Amino acid sequence: MTPLLSLSRSGALFAVAVQCFASWIPAQAASDHSRVDITGDYRYAYHQPETASEAKQHACTEALHQAVSTSAAVREHTASIVDSKLFHTLVHTLAAQHVTDRQILQQSEQGRTVYCKVKAVFEADAVERVLIAQTANGSEQVLDQNRALKILAAHEEADGTLVITYQARKRLDWLGTAYQGGLREAADVMVDFYDEQGILVRSSRHPARKSAAAGDDVMNPGEIGTLKIPKPLNAKTFRVWVVK
């Protein structure tokens, strides 16, 4: 005969197990609910010296950004945001850190125009956390940087010209940089222009030379250069960045 005390202990253990399992189910369900499928596509016309391979990579990256920016969670939390730089930084952070299972659904090339459509799983509950963290950090002295370049400033002049100031972090020798472990790609200044709806109008890349007009072949660490780019007529905002 089994003692009554043993039965009580067994019942208690079973009750605890059931309670723990019941508590785990909603938490797991909530976690699954916060992970949503997103899709986005992007068409991009590229120009020399950009290669077809680089253009395809850029198109797929922008397609992912488009998927994140149009997701329900991002639209809900950014409906009142008027700071386009904050919005684009939020989207790029979410795409880089809170997206998994990326898949290319469709990719094509026609002449110098490439197209990419992607699908991914997005952690929707991360939007609020990232947004709070970014607004709490305030403004930064450096707009962006990588191992080769540091973007110090970017502003629009009265005639619509975008002026970008950058600083070399490594020696950039344009006669030999292309062979220094992929440093050539890291030494480009990337510029995106967006219309009033936040849709990308044009994206371009520019070699970080000391003087674009003179075409100087060498920038030593610490040297500062400037770049002037005409803004497209339908562009309202811009983003200056470097390849990580």
- For 194-230, write each residue's pLDDT tens digit: 988 888 889 998 888 776 554 556 788 888 788 889 9
**How many independent structural domains does the chain possess?**
2
- Give yes or no: residues 238 and 220 share one domain: yes
- Give yes or no: residues 99 and 164 share one domain: no
This prediction has a pTM of 0.49
Task: Find out whether 159 and 168 touch, Cβ atoms under 8 Å.
Answer: no
- Give yes or no: residues 105 and 182 share one domain: no
What pLDDT is attached to residue 101?
92
- Give yes or no: residues 145 and 127 share one domain: no
CATH code (residue 96): 3.10.129.140
- Give yes or no: residues 134 and 148 share one domain: no
| Ranges of the chain whose pLDDT falls below 50 | 1-31, 138-140, 177, 179, 214
- Give yes or no: residues 73 and 129 share one domain: yes
Rounded-to-integer distance, Cα 26 and Cα 34, Å: 12
- Give yes or no: residues 61 and 132 share one domain: yes
Task: Find out whether 73 and 129 touch, Cβ atoms under 8 Å.
Answer: no
- Give yes or no: residues 190 and 176 share one domain: yes
What pLDDT is attached to residue 118?
96
Confirm whether 222 is domain-assigned. yes
- Give yes or no: residues 184 and 172 share one domain: yes
- Give yes or no: residues 81 and 120 share one domain: yes
Q: What is the pLDDT of residues 119-136, one digit of tens each?
A: 999 998 888 888 877 666
CATH code (residue 165): 2.60.40
Confirm whether 232 is domain-assigned. yes
Furthest CA-CA distance within the chain: 98
Rounded-to-integer distance, Cα 226 and Cα 210, Å: 7
Last residue of a domain, one of 109, 139, 169: 139
Task: Find out whether 121 and 36 touch, Cβ atoms under 8 Å.
Answer: yes
Confirm whether 23 is domain-assigned. no
Look up the domain containing 195 and give its range: 141-244
Last residue of a domain, one of 85, 108, 139: 139
- Give the number of other CB atoms < 10 A from CB of residue 234: 12
Rounded-to-integer distance, Cα 59 and Cα 61, Å: 5
Conformation bin of residue 138: beta by default, left when phi > 0, alpha when psi is -120 to 50: left
- Give yes or no: residues 111 and 205 share one domain: no
Burial per residue of 133-159, b for 16 or more beta-carbon CB atoms within 10 angstroms, e otherwise: eeeeeeeeeebbbbebbbbbebeeeee
221 HSE (CA, 13 A, CB side) = 5
Backbone angles phi, psi at 210, to 5 degrees: -65, -35
Confirm whether 155 is domain-assigned. yes
Task: Find out whether 191 and 164 touch, Cβ atoms under 8 Å.
Answer: yes
Task: Find out whether 238 and 231 touch, Cβ atoms under 8 Å.
Answer: yes
Confirm whether 128 is domain-assigned. yes
Last residue of a domain, one of 96, 114, 139: 139
What pLDDT is attached to residue 87?
82
- Give yes or no: residues 145 and 135 share one domain: no
